[in-house]
Each structure stands twice: as structure tokens, then as C-alpha cells.
A = this chain, B = another copy of it.
Amino acid sequence: MKSVINTIYESKLAELKSKIDTLHAPVKLTIVTVGDDPASKVYVRNKIRLFDELGLECNHVILAEESTKQADLDVLAQKAKHPILFQLPLPNGLIAPDLPAHVDVDGFGSEALGQLVLGQNAVLPCTVQATIDIISAHCGEYNFSGLKVAVVGRSNIVGKPLAIELINRQSTVASFNSCSDLAAVDWNRYDVIVVATGAHGILDNSQFIEGQLIIDVGINRVDGKLVGDIKHHDGIFSAAAITPVPGGVGRLTCLHVLGNAIKLAECP
């Protein structure tokens, strides 16, 4: 799968570059971080690097963990005229403001999500878009209709919006969560299984068969190593196509922050 991900990455990047060249509006991004979560630092650095490489403006607003109040974030959101994102997780119970759709580059706000439900060409959360890209590349861009997809996990930023987007594309979608009896599920019934729970080992590679596409969205740190939600048993080979962690969905996600910033610049 690594080479497939690389191919998708290169082709998406080329597509985005050519879009930038034809745009009349500048592509800008503001990233707000509070404190210095180590994982966030890596994600933010990758986003800034991508914008830098393409000569695009990316402002990084760094707020101190001790002194930042909810009102500070809300003011930044209200003043935003260009795409902005609040890097998660936020400390001290701070909540990312509910951004209006025209600056909501993450697509996490209620306006973008409402447009998504109505099928109105909304900005998709970047991880959702990355997942859709991988399904497109593996199953065919025009083959979402009738595709049997299981989505494991129901977060507001991945599982739920992904299920909605797949329903919009006329896939047959099954949504599972921590209350589902996962042991009783016949996973072989699905063409595609997307696992986005944040719990390593919730499924394992012995459960899948040839012909299936398994997209592992999880990023967990176990014994100092980055691993996905799917456990890969030593000595057990799975004939299914399983996206790697790291270097799978996460590699494409960063690209879609740029893709969404371009989309917002196109239709402000």
C-alpha cells in the first residue's frame, strides 16, 4: 500500500499545484496552537513546511498554555477573514470555536457539517478526504455506488462525517462504535473497512481477506512506536490491502489542509 499512497500523494500534489497557478485569490492559512503538545508540533510543522515549499502564506499563532482563555480563541475566530484552524487537542478544556464555513479549513464546524449532510460540496475534514482518496484510487473513482463500507468509530472529525460523505456517494454504509458487538461482525461482508477509533488492537490483520481494502486511520503510540488501530500479528500475513501507519492516511491528510485552503480561496 505504501507505493499506492505515494502515487496518490504525488498526483494530488500536482493537481493542487496546478490549481494554485490558475487561482485569482491568494491561498492563506492561519494555524493556532495553544501550549506545546509534542504530536501537534509535528503536524503543524508539516503543514507549515508544505505551504512554505509552495510559496504560500501560513501564519502560526502560538498561545501560551497558562494564560489563554476561551475568549482569546473566540476573538481569533470572529476576526478570521482567511482559512484558519485550531490545532487539536487544545489544553485546559478549551474548545475550538465553531467556525463559519468560509474560513473553516478543517471542516469541523457546524456550518460545514450541515452543508455536508445536504450534499452541498462542503469542505470535508482532511482525514475524511484522505480516506475518500484512498478508496477512489483502490476501488475506482466512480464505484462508490453500492460499495459496502464499514466505518468503525463515530467521532465528529472522522467517523461521522465519513459515514455521511459515503452515504452521499450512495455507498452502503455500516457504522460501528464502542457499543457495537464487534466480535459478532462478519467483516468479510464489506468491500472496504475504515477503522478510526484511536484504540490499538480493536481489529487485527487476521480478520480480513483478499480483495478487501482496509484503511487504518488510527495513530497510537505503543511502546514508543507509532501504530494504527489494527494489530499486525507477527507471522500472520493478510491478503487484504491494509494502509500502513505511519505513512498511510496521515501522509495524505496534511495535503488536504492545502486542498481545503484552495477550495475556500476559490469560493470565498
Contact = CB atoms under 8 A, between A and B. Distances in A.
Interface string A135-172: 00000000001100000001010011101100110111
Interface residues of A, number: 35
A145 B111 CA distance: 27
A117 to B, nearest CB: 4
A92 interface: no
A146 B118 CA distance: 27
Interface in A118-144: 118-120
Tallying the copies of this chain within the complex gives 2
20 contacts: A109-B114, A110-B115, A113-B113, A116-B117, A117-B156, A117-B164, A154-B168, A159-B167, A160-B164, A163-B163, A163-B175, A167-B175, A167-B177, A171-B179, A172-B174, A172-B175, A172-B176, A173-B175, A174-B174, A175-B175
Interface of A: 109-120, 145-146, 154, 156, 159-161, 163-164, 167-168, 170-181
